[in-house]
C-alpha cells in the first residue's frame, strides 16, 4: 500500500536520526542487496535473529526488474512480518531523474552516482547532479549519498587479483572529501580506501589511517561500498573510526549461486526449485548476512 508523504517524511527522519546514533555509538548499518524475495527473506531473518537494523538496497538493474513501488511494498511487508527495523536504499542511481523517482517512491536513502553511467563524467557534472538530488530530497528528507568520481569493480566474482597500485589512484583524500561535501551538501560520503566492488581471489586491504583522516576532515556520514571479500577486522575497526553504512552484495550472490548449484546437483529429481531455494539457499545467504551484522557491531541495535 502506498505511503503518505507524512509517513515517508517520518521514516526518513527516523533514518536520519538513526544514522547519527550509529556514528555516535560506533556501529554501522549493513546495506544488503535485494536480488529477489528469497534474498530479502534471508536478510530479514538475520536482522530478526540479531535484532539488528538493516538497509535493503537495489541498483538500477533490480529497479528495472522489480519496480520501485514493488520494492517499497516488498520491504514494508517483510518489515511487518518479521518485526524488524529496515530502510530502503537506492544504490548507484545513474541519473538525477532515477534518483528523483526513488525519492518519490519513499526510499529513505538515495545514492546518486552519475559516474556509473559515464565513467568519464567531469567533476563539475558530478557535483551538479549531486546538488540537484540533494535539493530534491528535501521533499521527503531522504539521506543523499555520493562520491566525487567513479568507483571501480563490479558486483561479481572476479578471477583477477587486485591491482592496488592502480586503485590507489582513485582513493579518497581528506581534502577532496571535505571539498566535495561542502560543494554538494550530501548526508553521506562514499569513501574509497581500498574497498572495491566485487569479490576477488585475494582479501581486500583497507587503509584505516586514511579513513581516520577522512573522518576528521568531514562531519557527515561515511559509507564503505564493495564490502564483500573484506576481512572482518577491517569492519570492526572502521565502525570504531566512524563508518555508519557498509554495502554487501557479492558475498551473498556467491553463496546463493554456489549453494543452488550444489543443491540442484544433489537433488536431480526435485523440480520445485523454489522449495530447494527456501530450504537450502536462504539459510546460506542468511549466514553471510549474520556474520556481517556481527562485524558491523549492529546486533541488538534495532529500534522497531
List active site positions.
91
Helices (H) and strands (E) in the chain, counts: 13, 10
Return d(Cα 86, Cα 303) in angstroms, integer: 10
Q: How far apart are the first and last CA of the chain?
A: 20
Instruction: Give the residue among 39, 34, 50, 36 at the shortest CA–CA distance from 85.
Output: 50
Question: Collapsing DSSP states into helix, strand and coil, what is residue 30?
Answer: strand
Contacts with 291 (C-beta within 8 Å, 6 or more apart), sequence order: 232
The full DSSP string for 246-282 is: EEE-HHHHHHHHHHHHHHHHH-TT---HHHHIIIIIH
Amino acid at each position: 500500500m502506498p505511503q503518505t508523504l507524512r509517513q515517508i517524511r517520518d521514516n526518513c527522519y527516523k533514518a536520519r536520526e538513526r544514522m547519527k546514533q550509529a556514528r555516535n555509538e560506533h556501529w554501522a548499518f549493513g546495506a544488503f542487496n535485494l536480488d529477489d524475495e528469497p534474498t530479502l527473506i534471508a536478510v530479514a531473518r538475520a536482522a530478526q535473529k540479531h535484532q539488528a537494523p538493516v538497509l535493503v538496497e537495489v541498483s538500477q538493474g533490480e529497479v528495472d526488474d522489480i519496480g520501485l513501488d514493488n520494492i517499497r511494498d516488498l520491504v514494508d511487508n517483510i518489515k511487518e512480518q518479521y518485526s524488524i527495523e529496515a530502510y530502503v536504499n537506492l544504490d548507484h542511481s545513474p541519473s538525477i531523474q532515477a534518483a528523483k523517482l526513488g525519492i518519490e517512491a519513499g526510499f529513505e536513502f538515495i545514492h546518486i552516482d552519475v559516474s556509473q553511467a559515464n565513467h568519464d563524467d567531469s567533476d563539475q557534472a558530478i557535483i551538479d547532479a549531486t546538488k540537484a538530488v540533494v535539493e530534491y530530497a528535501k521533499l521527503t528528507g531522504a539521506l543523499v549519498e555520493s562520491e566525487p568520481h567513479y568507483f571501480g569493480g563490479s558486483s561479481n566474482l572476479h578471477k583477477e587479483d587486485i591491482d592496488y597500485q592502480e586503485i590507489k589512484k582513485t582513493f579518497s583524500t581528506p581534502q577532496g572529501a571535505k571539498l566535495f561535501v561542502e560543494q554538494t551538501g550530501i548526508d553521506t560520503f562514499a569513501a574509497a580506501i581500498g574497498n572495491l566492488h566485487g569479490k576477488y581471489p585475494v582479501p581486500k586491504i583497507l587503509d584505516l589511517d586514511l579513513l581516520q583522516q577522512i573522518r576528521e576532515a568531514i562531519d557527515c556520514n561515511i559509507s564503505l561500498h564493495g564490502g564483500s571479500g573484506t576481512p572482518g577486522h577491517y569492519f570492526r575497526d572502521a565502525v570504531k573510526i566512524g563508518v555508519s553504512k557498509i554495502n554487501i552484495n557479492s558475498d551473498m550472490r556467491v553463496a546463493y549461486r554456489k549453494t543452488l548449484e550444489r543443491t540442484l546437483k544433489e537433488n536431480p529429481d526435485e523440480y520445485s526449485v523454489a522449495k530447494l531455494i527456501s530450504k537450502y539457499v536462504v539459510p546460506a545467504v542468511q549466514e553471510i548476512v549474520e556474520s556481517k551484522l556481527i562485524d558491523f557491531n549492529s546486533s541488538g541495535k534495532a529500534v522497531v
